[in-house]
Each structure stands twice: as C-alpha cells, then as structure tokens.
Amino acid sequence: MEEFVGGIWHRFITRSATRHHPEAAVELEHIERTAGTLFRALGGDAGLRVAAAAEAEHGARRHWLSRLAGTDTRVAHASRDQETLRLPAQLALFAERGLNRDLYLWLIAQAAATPPEATDWLSANQQATRHTLAAWPGLRARYRRLVDACIALRIAPEKLPPADAALETAIRNALADPARVQRAPAADKPPQPVPLWLYPAPELFDRRSRPSTMSEPATAGDREAQDGRDKRRSARREDEPDGRDGFILPFRAESLLSWAEYVKVNRSMDEDPDADAARAADDMDELALSEGASETASTVRFDLDLPSDAHDDIPLQSGILLPEWDWKRQRLLRDHCSLTLLHPRDAVACELPARLTRAVRRLRSQFEALTPSRRWLKGQPDGSEADLDACVRGWTDRSSGHLTGDDNRYLKCERRERDLACLVLADLSLSTDAHVSDDMKVIDVIRDSLMLLAEALGATGDRFGLYGFSSLKRSHIRFQRVKAFDEPYGRIARGRIAALRPGYYTRMGAAIRQSTRLMSSQPNAMRLLMILSDGKPNDMDHYEGRYGIEDTRVAIHEARALGVRPFCVTIDREGADYLPHLFGVDGYTVIRKPEQLPQRLPMLYATLVG
C-alpha cells in the first residue's frame, strides 16, 4: 500500500512540477534542413553542421515545486564552435508550438551572428542580439514574444537571495535591452538557463601541461565524444591508474565502489559492450577518459595493415605528390600527399553478368537517342544538294512578281557531335563493405552501377574513364585505374570492375585533384567529373570533420577553375548537411535507397549532358 500511494504521489508531483509541454514539442530532426538553410542564408559559416546538444546539469536555482519533485535539473544548451552548431534535440518549453519553433529560428539567427569563440558569455550574446535585430528587423516581433514568454517562466528576483537577484535582474535587463548591461554581477550559483542565448562550447579535455603519449594527432573523435545520436558530450582527461595501489588500510566499505571504478581494465575492448551505455551517458554530466599505455592503433592494426606485395594490386605509378588545404592555417600545403596509381591484380576478363542483361538492353535503347548523328540543314547558301522546297518557293515568288533576293536554296549535311569527356570516380573506402540488404553490399551496388553506366556510355560513343580511390593517411592514397580514356570498354574493363574491393579511408580532396589532372589533359570542351560516394571525407590522421570537408571544397573549386564540372552522387542520407557547402545546391544528388543507384546513375548522366 505504501508503494502504491508513493507511486501515485510521485506521478502527481512530477506532472505538477514539469515545465515541459510535450503536446507542443518541436523536434530538431523535423527542421534540421530548414535550420541549415536559414543559418547559411543569414550569413552563418557554410561549413558548420547542425547537430543535437546533450543535456547537462545547470546548477541554477529552481522553483520550489521542481525542487520538491526533483525535476528540471538538466538542460540542453545551444552552442557553437568552429565545426558544429548544437541545438536542443527537442523544444517543448512553451505551451504554444509556434513559440517553440520561433525559439529554434531565433537560436539559428543568434548563432549566425555569434563568434565561434566568445570570451564573455553575457557580452557576446548581447552583441549577437543587437546585430541580429539590426540586420533582420522582421525578427523583432518574434524576439519580443520570446522574451516575454521566457521571463514568465523564470524565478522573480524578489524571491532570490540578494546576489542571485542582482544577476537575475541583469539578465532580464540584457534580454529587454541588449545594450544595457556591461557585465554580470557575481552570484552564489549559476544563473537560470537562458533559452534565447548560446552558451560557450564545453571544453572536452583538460590538457593542463600534461605530456601526451599518443603518437597520432588528435582527431575529431578525440575532441568530441559522441554516441550514435550525435550529441555533444562534455568530458575530462584522467590519469590512468597504475594498478599498484590496493585497498587502503584501514579498510572502509564505502571506498569499495570508488576503488572498483578505477580498476585498470580496458573497458572499451570488452567482449560484451554495455547495451545501455548511451543511456548511461545521458545521465552523466562529464565523461572521464584516460590514455592507456598501449596505442589504440595497435589493437586494430590487423584490419588496417596493407597487404603484401604478392597480394596487393599492381602499382602502375607511385609517389604522385599532391597538395592539400590546411583549413586551420588557411594555406595550401605543397606536395603534402602521396598517391599511387594501381591496377587490380585479380582482374580477369569477363562478360556482362546475366542479372544486368535486361537493364543494359533497356539503357542502350534509351541512350541511342544521345548518339551523335548527321542532320540535314535546309535553306543554306551552299550545300551538296538542292533544297526543293526553297526552289519551289523561289520560282513561285518570281512568277507572282515578288523578288526576295533569297538565294538560300541548298541542303547541307552536318554531323552534330557532343564534345564531351566524363570521368567516374568511385569511393572504395572500407565503409562500402557494409550491407544494404541481406544479399548485397555497397561495393556490389557500386560495381553494378559502374557496369551499367559504362554500357550506356558505350552506346553514345562519349569518351569516359573509370577510377576508384581509398586512402590510408596522406602517405598512401590508392587510386585504382579501371578504364583510362584511351582504352576501349569491353571484357577487360568489366573484369577490373568485378575485381574492385573495399579499401581503407576517404581522402577525397587528393582523389579529386588527381582526377582533375587527368581531365585537364583531355581536349574536349565539356569535362564532367562524376563522384560516387557513401559518406564524408575522412582518414586516420587529422583528415576528419571540418578539415576534410574544407580540403575537398578547395579541390572542387580548383577543378571548376580548370573547366572541370564536378557532380556528386551519394547514398549518404546525411549528405544534404554538408554537400551544399562542397558542391553547391545543383552539384549533387542524394539517393535514399542505395539499391536504386545502378538504375538511376545512367539517367543522371543523361540529364547532365542532355
């Protein structure tokens, strides 16, 4: 009976104390595309991606009912850094759905005007608010409604201790008049969360004058601890225990749990990972990480080592030096990457697979319409034959007394050709080994796509080349030659396509630069570079996150400056977040169902060159 009554009380007091309105909630995933478009349209950094922010303890004073129920202790703060704009995964703060959506839009506008590394939280938000309202006056009415709704939810200053009341008054004045408050007064506790402002991005690791034992430079995975839901996690560095310290004497039972938490066990390598680890991380304000004595790379080296020379692909040319754009230093690093041109060793000449025969027959009949053909031009001043229609009209005009002086009475035959070269660049990274169905992997989809496209291009007579790429750091970029421009397409090229297999990582900038070099040597007027990809640019070293995206973007701009037209076809469902920054709004397409890529790729080509 006691438990039954306690459950009723818990549900009642929790429901009474909650300040959320689930019926008016707005999800970030529903406006994610709008958020990215609006952020860039308002002048925000086009390279930033939008992601969900994780909840954390705010430590501020709460209403007495919230303290009684033990609720409203955590909040997801909006923030931004040089790579990511973090917004709450859900907004249900107000009872009106329109206000919650307006809050999302305001945070996006505020982020576009806030510098990524603000030194003073109060001043930076006031400055961003002034700039936002001055640049876009249409937001003033929404901002005033949001301020009024936000202040109505806060604890009144007269109900707070003097120090906290002064801070609350300063925040209210700053919201009402962004130019009014110069500095925030000191208080005993942190201020109540301000939903309309951006908070500083948390420092993930404490690197206070401690030597690092890691041999590789820090990657985006080191700087940002995330789970599968892509939430920002606050973390700190801890020294790993050496295992020599035993129980403290005299022994106290309450120290057992704290000792067990620091047993020297490599928990990340457990055979059975905790299925609720992500849920546990949601309840933790800070994640503790330590550097082990052994390098992590050594534990997965069997997956990343290159094959022996006897089993690796045949190198055709090695040591091709390419530049790379250093986004942090904003300069081009000359001869920074080394690329090797390879030939599939296991390639055996083969015929077209039987499963693709029907599709190839259909594509050939469709692409024959794009085949260059001869065309007769009528009404020409000279030509190989007389234009009978023009001659009859001329004789009729003379007989009726109308002299036009038009002597264009010949037919001329012209051959209209499409001066085009196309290079297809396929991503052969390790992620292509993933399954798209029970009996098909991404690499199988790429092989079928290349075969169908090559058969279709064979019907048009257009010049084309087929290449693939993967990488293992900047010193080993693998560039697979499937078919060069001067090679015919047939059984040998089909065998090379069938021999393609997943490689390593995706250093896309270097692959695009090498493809641009090959395209630049082609004499054709139109040069199309089609890129097949299944994810973001990445590699084992620092080529991750914003660094890889910015290098790829510079490589694309270099290609366009040389007359090459890049176009990306991706099966990455998150491609719309970063591809507009790389290729522009008309320079890419996202195929939601990977198994449709073989059928859609030839039609995309026909659309691009039609």
Parallel/antiparallel/unpaired status of strands 74-75 and 56-57:
antiparallel
191-200, 333-342, 358-367, 413-422: range with lowest mean pLDDT = 413-422
| Residue 247 reports pLDDT greater than 60 | no
Q: Tell me what the mean pLDDT of segment 476-502 comes to.
A: 93
pLDDT of residue 510: 95
What digits encode the pLDDT tens for the residues 415-446? 556 788 999 999 999 889 888 888 889 999 99
- pLDDT: which is higher, 326 or 263: 326
Q: Tell me what the mean pLDDT of segment 177-196 comes to.
A: 85
pLDDT band for 483, please (50, 70, 90 cuts): very high
pLDDT band for 242, please (50, 70, 90 cuts): low
- pLDDT: which is higher, 238 or 141: 141
Q: Which helix (H) or strand (E) holds 331?
A: strand 331-343
Give percent of the chain above pLDDT 70. Answer: 77
| Residue 197 reports pLDDT greater than 50 | yes
127-131, 204-208, 291-295, 437-441: range with lowest mean pLDDT = 204-208
For residues 357 and 347, give the distance between their C-alpha atoms in angstroms, rounded to a whole number.
Answer: 21
For residues 269 and 289, give the distance between their C-alpha atoms in angstroms, rounded to a whole number.
Answer: 14
| Residue 251 reports pLDDT greater than 60 | no
pLDDT of residue 371: 65
- pLDDT: which is higher, 172 or 374: 172
For residues 195 and 491, give the distance between their C-alpha atoms in angstroms, rounded to a whole number.
Answer: 63
Q: Tell me what the mean pLDDT of segment 260-273 comes to.
A: 48
CA distances from 436 to 335, 424, 469, 571, 590 (A): 37, 22, 21, 10, 15
pLDDT band for 346, please (50, 70, 90 cuts): confident
pLDDT of residue 53: 87
296-310, 359-373, 387-401, 589-603: range with lowest mean pLDDT = 296-310
Give percent of the chain above pLDDT 90. Answer: 29
Q: Quick one: which of 121, 141, 145, 122 has its CA closest to 133?
A: 141
Q: What is the length of the chain?
A: 610
CA distances from 239 to 117, 235, 251, 285 (A): 28, 13, 24, 19
- pLDDT: which is higher, 533 or 213: 533
3-state secondary structure 101-113: HHHHHHHHHHHHH
Q: Quick one: which of 344, 370, 432, 289 has its CA closest to 608?
A: 370
Name, in order, each residue with C-beta under 8 angstroms of 58's C-beta and a sequence gap of 6 or more.
Answer: 73, 74, 75, 77, 190, 192, 193
pLDDT of residue 277: 61
Could you tell me if residue 89 is left (phi over 0), alpha (psi between -120 and 50 degrees) or otherwise beta? alpha
What digits encode the pLDDT tens for the residues 124-148? 888 889 999 998 888 999 999 999 9
Q: Quick one: which of 399, 485, 496 has its CA closest to 447?
A: 496
pLDDT of residue 369: 66
pLDDT of residue 300: 43
For residues 483 and 490, give the distance between their C-alpha atoms in angstroms, rounded to a whole number.
Answer: 10
Q: Tell me what the mean pLDDT of segment 522-548 comes to.
A: 90
pLDDT of residue 224: 41
344-348, 351-355, 597-601: range with lowest mean pLDDT = 344-348
Q: What are phi and psi of 314, to 5 degrees?
A: -80, 120
Q: Tell me what the mean pLDDT of segment 336-354 comes to.
A: 90
320-334, 370-384, 523-537: range with lowest mean pLDDT = 370-384
81-90, 172-181, 277-286, 567-576: range with lowest mean pLDDT = 277-286
Beta pairing partners, 299? none
Q: Quick one: which of 552, 539, 451 has its CA closest to 500?
A: 451
pLDDT of residue 118: 61
Q: What are phi and psi of 396, to 5 degrees?
A: -65, -40
pLDDT of residue 323: 95
Q: What are phi and psi of 588, to 5 degrees?
A: -160, 165
CATH 3.40.50.410 spans which residues of the chain?
314-366+419-609
- Write the CATH number of the domain with boundaries 314-366+419-609: 3.40.50.410
| Residue 211 reports pLDDT greater than 60 | no
- pLDDT: which is higher, 146 or 81: 146
Could you tell me if residue 537 is left (phi over 0), alpha (psi between -120 and 50 degrees) or otherwise beta? beta
253-262, 332-341, 463-472: range with lowest mean pLDDT = 253-262
- The C-alpha angle 447, 448, 453, rounded to 5 degrees, equals 100
